[in-house]
Structure 1
């Protein structure tokens, strides 16, 4: 009896810890389920790049529309522009002549006003009533009258010239405004063309970088699929696989940067992937702390508009050189470095279940093919992102359903 009680006292904390762990697992699973809607459709970095590319496409489209409007507007105004330039030159000549005429009138007015003042003084002067003086007075009166008429005439001409010059000035200003407006449109056209060229150059560069990243993801996916096929974990239809690659290459070789092609279903990766729901016991996650950066399931690439099926999830660890743990008891059937997926470990479990851990920065020294390992055993470490995949009897399972 004592021995039995001792046994209970020894193992009770273990049972308690197991219960706590199970509660944590359930809590974590619940939290993951509630966050599913927040996960991005694609890799976070690629999503940002895709958003930038789509934004650039919209900006280029707007610029092209504006360029077209400006070109049409300037084509219509080209004759008006030439006419305005010619008319402005004529107005300038006319204004110059009028200014000279006005200056001449001013000089004549000054002279006649001075003469009138002199004649008025002479007429007011008391002189004798001789015949000569009478004649002189009459001549002065005639001169005064004529001078007065000249002053009135010059004065009228002066004000008419002023009005005409003001009218010409107003007309000139309107023409100058019209010319300035067209010149501004030309400047805007030139600037928009330059901006458009810059945006196209940036778009070409960003799209090329995005294409390289997408091709890498597709190659990684294909490499992992081939590895699983070689291990008889899943079956791959080679004909559909070849067709899928051809369609993907065709979609990604689209040279029209501003074109927005229709969504296509690309190959077996979208149409023929067999999936099932996970019905087993919940378990631990392969990382202690992580962020989901690529989720499982259908994904429509926003740039090339091809539909792809993500058979794995990408988990970014919260710390560098993070430990990666095996999620179930099982046997290692693959553990080595690959060209595209860095280090890969595949563990075989009961009921035809396999878990795949790819993109490991290193594999634990004791993890070898054929080794039996328990749940939570450290199988390696990861720096960047863990690619985690789960299969069962030729079917794919959403890895997040395990946790």
Structure 2
């Protein structure tokens, strides 16, 4: 029965550790998803602010560590002294109690002598002698009382001094424990912040890398369809390390023109702008990236994606980086591109003729929307009312 109880307790401990580990993993995954959903510039600003916070907390940890070490050394030196003082104080208190008893005894005797020392009695040889003896005894008791009283005061002063020293050492011990708790709290905060910084920086690097991969893949698709011309001076982005903080520029060859047509509908019914069109300067690694598209964040999950103008589907396929992509050709060699679709609609087929407002698919949340015209890129937001 005892062995069974031990095994059960061991199993419960393992289960508790497993639950705790799973909770931490879920929390980390949730945090990662939250960071992935943020705008890239917001994530960059968060990293910069995180670095500042980390500098502050590192400084606080260093100061707290120094103070804790000083207090620990002081407490270690005073621990033996504390034991000795407490013992000495106990002895002094015992001595004080003895002196109190002696003083009470003297006062009692002196009072008793006063009682048996009548002032109005018939004088005789014996009575005069007795009275003299009593007076002398009273004087002796008073002298002894003064001496004992002086000893009592000195002992009390010693006890007060020792007690103050005990209180002082105990306060130092208390300060040390409080400072130690503060240090541990700061270290936990520091550990969490370091973990968050690592996560944010990893996600940010992935976002920058994916941003370039997505634009490269989309460009390759547009070039293959002869929608834009092939860039003869193709950049080898893979050789550009984002670990090195130096100024460089990607997609410098992007040609942009102003949209001159009529305003139209948005591909999403309700959305917010997650990524803007145009040049983005990364504040962390000082990379200059030209965003050839916009990212629209749907306010609804699994939202419908609408064609913004009448046209014909010229591409509808799954891709390695951009998930499902639909490209629609419109009048005047204008093309609209809808990437990161989660599902295709029946109209999302090459050759399908589509009207403005037709549903070409669904998106979980983020839609990449790009517009080109005769080898030029257009800010997609210029099309939308």
**TM-score of the pair, normalised by structure 1:** 0.72
The aligned counterpart of 1:346 is: 327
Relative distance call for 1:115 and 1:314 in structure 2 (3 A) is same
| Alignment map for 1:124-135 (pairs within 5 Å) | 124=118, 126=121, 129-130=124-125, 134-135=128-129
Deviations 1:326-375 (A, max 9, x none): 5254x433222223222222233454433222223334435543x37365
* Distance of 1:233 and 1:53 partners within structure 2: 38
The aligned counterpart of 2:382 is: 401
* Distance of 1:82 and 1:361 partners within structure 2: 66
* Distance of 1:265 and 1:237 partners within structure 2: 22
Q: Is the Cα contact below 8 Å between 1:240 and 1:267 reproduced in 2?
A: no
The aligned counterpart of 1:359 is: 340
* Distance of 2:38 and 2:192 partners within structure 1: 26
Gapped regions of structure 1 (runs ≥ 5)? 1-41, 252-261
- 2:363 counterpart of 1:383: yes
* Distance of 1:365 and 1:323 partners within structure 2: 13
State the 1:105 CA deviation. Answer: 0.8
- Aligned length, in residue pairs: 346
Deviations 1:114-154 (A, max 9, x none): 222232233328587346x6544443332221111111221
* Distance of 2:158 and 2:345 partners within structure 1: 97
The aligned counterpart of 2:177 is: 183
The aligned counterpart of 2:238 is: 245
Relative distance call for 1:353 and 1:387 in structure 2 (3 A) is same
- 2:215 counterpart of 1:221: yes
| Alignment map for 1:132-211 (pairs within 5 Å) | 134-211=128-205
- 2:59 counterpart of 1:65: yes
* Distance of 2:232 and 2:130 partners within structure 1: 130
| Alignment map for 1:2-401 (pairs within 5 Å) | 44=38, 53-124=47-118, 126=121, 129-130=124-125, 134-235=128-229, 237=231, 241-242=235-236, 244-250=237-243, 264-269=246-251, 271-301=252-282, 306-317=287-298, 319=300, 320-329=302-311, 331-369=312-350, 371=351, 373=353, 375-376=355-356, 378=358, 380-384=360-364, 385-401=366-382
Query: Which of structures 1 and 2 has the larger relative contact order (alpha carbons within 8 angstroms, sep 6+)?
Result: 1
Counterpart of 1:193 in 2: which secondary structure? Answer: helix
Counterpart of 1:74 in 2: which secondary structure? Answer: helix
Relative distance call for 1:298 and 1:135 in structure 2 (3 A) is same
Relative distance call for 1:116 and 1:296 in structure 2 (3 A) is same
* Distance of 2:203 and 2:152 partners within structure 1: 75
Relative distance call for 1:141 and 1:355 in structure 2 (3 A) is same
Q: Is the Cα contact below 8 Å between 1:112 and 1:147 reproduced in 2?
A: yes
Gapped regions of structure 2 (runs ≥ 5)? 1-35
Counterpart of 2:154 in 1: which secondary structure? Answer: helix
Counterpart of 2:235 in 1: which secondary structure? Answer: helix
